[in-house]
Amino acid sequence: MDEMKEAMKSKNEASLRALRAIKAEIIKAKTEPGAGGEVSPEKEVNLLQKMMKQRKDSLEIYQQQKREDLAKKELEEISIIQNFLPQQLTGEELKAELQQIISDIGASSPADIGKVMGAASKKLAGRADGKTISAMVKELLAK
């Protein structure tokens, strides 16, 4: 990881901390039973998304507890991890994608949320947060 070497040379503690966490997660995934020492690109994106979610949850808790020092560390790590994730869809792009999925499936009522979420989760994996997708699908099908 060239990024890790650069972080070490520039003595950037935040980058180094986040990059070491990413490396540790990937190594852990490679050594899991059944992984065969390999991690697919999809699995890597899932790992990074999981790490982002953990950091965001921690950030929220730290902010509620007025722990700005810890919140700052989480924000720094979030910004580093985001660099390795695919570009996230904007609200309009996400809405357009979901409308396309809804029309392809033929969903028309809130009862079809499960069908739409299944297709949307596969198609938009890594490009949008599941919570955001769910909220937008509910909004679109409620109309």
| Per-residue pLDDT tens listing for the chain (143 residues) | 688 888 888 888 888 999 999 999 989 988 888 777 788 888 888 888 899 889 999 999 999 999 999 999 999 999 999 888 888 888 888 888 888 888 888 877 788 888 888 888 888 877 887 888 888 888 888 77
Domain with CATH 1.10.10.410 in the chain: 91-142
Domain 2-82, CATH homologous superfamily name and number: Uncharacterised protein YqeY/AIM41, N-terminal domain (1.10.1510.10)
Domain with CATH 1.10.1510.10 in the chain: 2-82
Confirm if 74 and 17 have CB atoms less than 8 A apart.
no
Q: What distance in Å separates the CA atoms of residue 86 and residue 66, rounded to the nearest whole number?
A: 31
User: Can you give the pLDDT at residue 93?
Assistant: 87
Domain 91-142 -> CATH class = mainly alpha
User: Can you give the pLDDT at residue 8?
Assistant: 86
User: Can you give the pLDDT at residue 138?
Assistant: 87
User: Can you give the pLDDT at residue 65?
Assistant: 95
User: Can you give the pLDDT at residue 117?
Assistant: 86
Q: What distance in Å separates the CA atoms of residue 62 and residue 136, rounded to the nearest whole number?
A: 28
Quickly count helices (H) and strands (E) in the chain: 7, 0
Question: Which segments of 60-143 are extended strands (E)?
Answer: none
